[in-house]
Each structure stands twice: as C-alpha cells, then as structure tokens.
C-alpha cells in the first residue's frame, strides 16, 4: 500500500512538475512577447513624435509663408488704391487747369471780338 501511495505521489509530482514547466514556458514566452511589444511601442511612439514634430515645423513654415503672402497682397492692393487715387487726383487737377485755361482763352476771344 505504501509503495502504491509512493508511486501515485511520484506521478502527481511528475505531473505537477510538467505543469509547472509548461507554465514557465508559457509565461516566459508571453513575457518575451510583452518585452518585444513594449520595445516596438516605444519605437513607434518615438517615430510618431518625430513625425508630429516634422508636421508642426511644416505647418509653421506654411503658416509663415501664408502670412507673408497675405501681407504682400495687402500691400499690393493698398499701393494700387493709392495709385488710382493719385491718378484720379492728377486727372482732376489737369481738368481743372484745362477748364480755367479754356475759360481764359474764351474770354480773351470774346473781348477781342467786342473791341472790333
């Protein structure tokens, strides 16, 4: 009876050791997978951060270019309006001077025709 119990105990211990060995293998594999995934995650996170930084630099550059272009366009529009204003004012001055000259010239003709 003692020998049978000893054999059963040895079998149970062997099964237990097999279960523990399989558990250790599974846990070891999963731990390795976890470490690999963690390192891949860190690598991907750093790549994502680098990409975000690159995108932000590009966005800032594009924003600065857009602001510069907007300012240049505003200056061009302002200069064009000033040129139009100056031309209109010059045209009014010329027209006024021409009318005054024509009026004086017409008045001289009338005076000459009255004297005769």
Q: What is the sign, positive or negative, of the torsion defined by CA atoms of 40, 43, 48, 49?
A: positive
Q: What is the Cα–Cα distance from 87 to 42, expressed in whole angstroms?
A: 67
pLDDT in tens, 26-85: 998 899 999 999 999 999 999 999 999 999 999 999 999 999 999 999 999 999 999 999
Residue predicted with more confidence, 108 or 79? 79
Helices assigned H by DSSP within the chain: 2-115
pLDDT given for residue 107 in this prediction: 83
């Amino acid at each position: 009876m003692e020998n049978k119990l000893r054999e059963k105990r040895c079998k149970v211990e062997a099964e237990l050791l097999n279960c523990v060995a399989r558990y250790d293998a599974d846990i070891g594999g999963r731990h390795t997978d976890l470490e690999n995934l963690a390192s891949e995650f860190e690598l991907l996170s750093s790549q994502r951060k680098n990409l975000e930084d690159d995108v932000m630099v590009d966005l800032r550059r594009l924003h600065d270019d857009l602001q510069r272009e907007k300012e240049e366009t505003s200056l061009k529009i302002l200069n064009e309006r000033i040129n139009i204003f100056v031309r209109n004012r010059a045209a009014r001055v010329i027209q006024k001077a021409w009318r005054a000259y024509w009026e004086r010239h017409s008045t001289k003709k009338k005076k000459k025709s009255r004297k005769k």
